[in-house]
Structure 1
């Protein structure tokens, strides 16, 4: 067995979906105080000095239970602890283990051998350990980081569990996160949303120029921008000017049914002349690609990107009414 105190390289990213027969959550130490050591060394750590680990290492489960009862441990607590001990000592390498630490979900499968850490360590980081095969991973099989804020509460609710080890009720949800798959209902909704954006993109192209300017105004308003000029009309260089009340930023907005890169470049120069903080350039049918380059203050919404903004602004019913 390799030295379990030595740092382990990050786990390789598997490309095949996982399908574990069992799954457990483990809290690596009280309050997760062993998490960094466990993750760095690729180990699953467990145990306290007063527990009968010598008997567990021998597989003497009746003796372990009797020892706990004789020590004055309450029968209910003995039952819970024996369940955790059996999990650590007997679950095979096909059991998925997860822990939540450092703002991420970590997962892996453990080698069957249980190592007595008291032979090599002072016991401050657990009494026994199992090596996680290849080390703990915090990435999906597609290399997406499994950040806790991005995970479903069906996955992260296990944090509320007060003991050290528990079975995962939502094993399917956990496996979907690791396998980079959405719930069937979510996948259906995403497909419907994708089709909606396609339809909205087509509808926008059917708008009269005046209605397209109104749509631009409504979209920006829904996203927090307040119009500070009349819409269209006699403005020389812009269709409207807007302001962001939260930051005081001022932006110039130009709306074109069709435009190429030269037109965009011309209006970017005009926006600079007006000393605007930002510029929005909306075009439903671009002639070739429209590129603002490295200008982070220039926002080009065209084609599908424009349709996504309109959907996000909740303006699909308005759009339908105008085109119908």
Structure 2
């Protein structure tokens, strides 16, 4: 299929007013449209001048009829293998058009005419990932606001890359820079003074909407931070260590479980002594922040610049 996805042309199609033909199209693997006043035989013959005459004689305005014919030319003339897309049920759907064009033989509530597709409609990329509208650029999804039936796709290159799962050259550069930023962040965290590390963890939670209900690094023997998430009511114990090993982690988990006052436990350690592991009980909401996880939390919270200014 990937070898075949080099279509000679690309079009967007609205599957009926208000999407009324969507389910019919998906179930029957066809591209349905209406254009009630357009004579099928004239369209097949490509006699567009005569079609314009018959449509205007039937009461269609001249400009509207010309727009209809522009779209009908695409529907009838675009070659087999052209890529057609639509947007429905929260996904982008795509199909390669076949060579068969027919009038519909179903009830009057259905589409007037349809073209076959080669393999039906798909809402998946060639790699098998869903093409969800909320993950796609508005440069593409805005096409769904087209008021008529058939139009060109302005973001055609982006569309094809999305289906093929290909990256824009700039994305490769961005990914490389992001990976370097995360690596630098991890190294900088490892070189922080312990007091700055405590402040970093406190800022991460504050930036993400948590509210501290204890003093940072206070006199509590078992925990450095007690936090509350106002929106959800969730509470968290947070233990912050510049250096720690497995024995210290196990000890703090035991204290957290014995206390029982919070929903979540987070152990943040800048320089762990060896690999740290959690107990096997899957029902426990226990978390370890070291290395890459710390770097991710820092960058995603917008604290890279803050961190870089505190390296000594």
- Alignment root-mean-square deviation, CA: 2.0
1:312 matched residue in structure 2: 300
1:24-39 to 2 correspondences below 5 Å:
24-39=11-26
1:191 CA displacement: 2.4
Q: What CA deviation, in whole Å up to 9, does each residue of 1:259-311 have, x standing for no partner?
A: 44444333222112222111111123342253465246222222111101011
Partner of 1:110: helix, strand, or coil? strand
Q: What is the CA–CA distance in structure 2 between the aligned matches of 1:281 and 1:137, rounded to whole Å?
A: 44
151-160 vs 168-177, which moves further: 168-177
TM-score when scaled to structure 2? 0.91
1:35 CA displacement: 0.4
1:102 matched residue in structure 2: 89
Within the candidate set 181, 204, 212, 2:197 is matched to 212
1:283 matched residue in structure 2: 269
1:44 CA displacement: 0.5
1:1-324 to 2 correspondences below 5 Å:
14-16=1-3, 18-118=5-105, 121-275=106-260, 276-286=262-272, 287-291=274-278, 293=280, 294-295=282-283, 297-324=285-312
Q: What is the CA–CA distance in structure 1 between the aligned matches of 2:38 and 2:126, rounded to whole Å?
A: 37
Contact 2:278/2:286, CA 8 A, preserved across alignment: no
Unpaired stretches in structure 1, ≥5 consecutive residues: 1-13
Q: What is the CA–CA distance in structure 2 between the aligned matches of 1:82 and 1:243, rounded to whole Å?
A: 62
1:112 CA displacement: 1.3
Number of aligned residue pairs: give it. Answer: 309
Contact 1:227/1:242, CA 8 A, preserved across alignment: yes
1:256 CA displacement: 2.5
Q: What is the CA–CA distance in structure 2 between the aligned matches of 1:90 and 1:269, rounded to whole Å?
A: 72
Contact 1:261/1:291, CA 8 A, preserved across alignment: no
Unpaired stretches in structure 2, ≥5 consecutive residues: none
Q: What is the CA–CA distance in structure 1 between the aligned matches of 2:30 and 2:120, rounded to whole Å?
A: 7
228-237 vs 298-307, which moves further: 228-237
Contact 1:282/1:300, CA 8 A, preserved across alignment: yes
Q: What is the CA–CA distance in structure 2 between the aligned matches of 1:215 and 1:209, rounded to whole Å?
A: 10
313-322 vs 255-264, which moves further: 255-264
TM-score when scaled to structure 1? 0.88
Residues 93 and 264 from structure 1, CA distance in 2 versus in 1: closer, same or farther, beyond 3 angstroms? farther
286-295 vs 250-259, which moves further: 286-295
Partner of 2:309: helix, strand, or coil? helix
Residues 158 and 292 from structure 1, CA distance in 2 versus in 1: closer, same or farther, beyond 3 angstroms? farther
Q: What is the CA–CA distance in structure 1 between the aligned matches of 2:246 and 2:268, rounded to whole Å?
A: 13
Residues 45 and 296 from structure 1, CA distance in 2 versus in 1: closer, same or farther, beyond 3 angstroms? farther
Q: What is the CA–CA distance in structure 2 between the aligned matches of 1:317 and 1:179, rounded to whole Å?
A: 36
Partner of 2:100: helix, strand, or coil? coil
1:83 CA displacement: 1.2
Q: What is the CA–CA distance in structure 2 between the aligned matches of 1:143 and 1:15, rounded to whole Å?
A: 12
Contact 2:34/2:112, CA 8 A, preserved across alignment: yes
